[in-house]
Amino acid sequence: MQLRSVSLMPSACCVAVALTCCLMFARADILEDWIYPLEADVFFAGTFEKQWSHFPHNKSLVPITLEHVADWLESQGRDEEVIETLEHPVTQKAFRSDNPSPVQYIQEAFLQGHSMVINSLNRWSEPGKRVAKDLNAAADLPVDVYMYLTPPHSQSYGMHSDVMDAFMVQLGGSKSWKVCDVTSWMAPRERYDQLPLKLNGTCEEVLMQQGDVMYL
């Protein structure tokens, strides 16, 4: 388990594929593309559930575009269970708008510094369904696919730790991450941003560019 925090460089769009326990792929070529230049057996022997890893690439490895996002916004409307607008990272205030257009509502929130999360993309998006189907067929475990839209000089979440493994795939823009090798269960009452210092953890800054993949 790692602590991670994210902050944005230019506006970014990324997709997270998470499982509750372990992660494998039904199609070997997908895994090989994502973890290149590692080979699958090397990844599972030395990285999987042992350490985080960053895999730079020069092209997007998931066929999802901002045009898809606009279509999803129109079809899902203002359903906060599907498309969640996060509190502003500085003011901690929620976004409010009476704009009836889902796309314009999200645009307003984005321009004011609010990030968005598209939850459980695999339940109603065909590209998300394809990814989840492959993962579930291989691992026989629950799979969730999320998409994060983050405006410039902002962030989605602060430093935190998740219970599941995840692949973060950068679809567009770039995002700056701070990843720390700290097991949060060792100090459950400490603030996350205090854990690396308290437990002598090591942290590393990672810049995710379009096409990059990070395993956590």
Q: Please tell me the predicted confidence (pLDDT) of residue 160.
A: 76
Share of the chain above pLDDT 70, in %: 75
Closest among 23, 1, 13 to 169, alpha carbons compared: 13
Q: Please tell me the predicted confidence (pLDDT) of residue 22.
A: 38
Pairwise pLDDT comparison (178 vs 196), residue with the higher score: 178
The single-letter code of the amino acid at 30 is I
Dihedral-angle region of residue 177 (phi above 0 means left; psi in -120 to 50 means alpha; beta otherwise): beta
Give the Cβ contact number of residue 136 at 10 Å: 15
Q: For 19-26, what is the mean pLDDT? A: 40
Region of poorest pLDDT, from 33-42, 102-111, 181-190: 181-190
Q: Please tell me the predicted confidence (pLDDT) of residue 65.
A: 80
Round the average pLDDT of the chain to a whole number and report it: 78
Dihedral-angle region of residue 77 (phi above 0 means left; psi in -120 to 50 means alpha; beta otherwise): left
Q: Give per-residue pLDDT as tens, 113-147.
A: 999 888 888 888 888 888 777 766 655 667 788 98
CA distance 30 to 196: 33
Q: Please tell me the predicted confidence (pLDDT) of residue 57.
A: 94
The single-letter code of the amino acid at 209 is Q
Is pTM, for the whole model, over 0.75? yes
Give the Cβ contact number of residue 181 at 10 Å: 15
Does residue 186 carry a pLDDT above 60?
no
The H-or-E segment that residue 17 falls in is strand 12-19
CA distance 87 to 27: 38
Question: Is residue 196 very low, low, confident or very high in pLDDT (cuts 50, 70, 90)?
Answer: low
∠ Cα 59 60 63 (to 5°): 140
Closest among 145, 114, 127 to 15, alpha carbons compared: 145
Exposed (0-12), middle (13-18) or buried (19+): which is 111, by Cβ within 10 Å?
Answer: exposed
Pairwise pLDDT comparison (24 vs 56), residue with the higher score: 56
- 94 HSE (CA, 13 A, CB side): 5
Region of poorest pLDDT, from 19-28, 63-72, 74-83, 126-135: 19-28
Q: Please tell me the predicted confidence (pLDDT) of residue 63.
A: 78
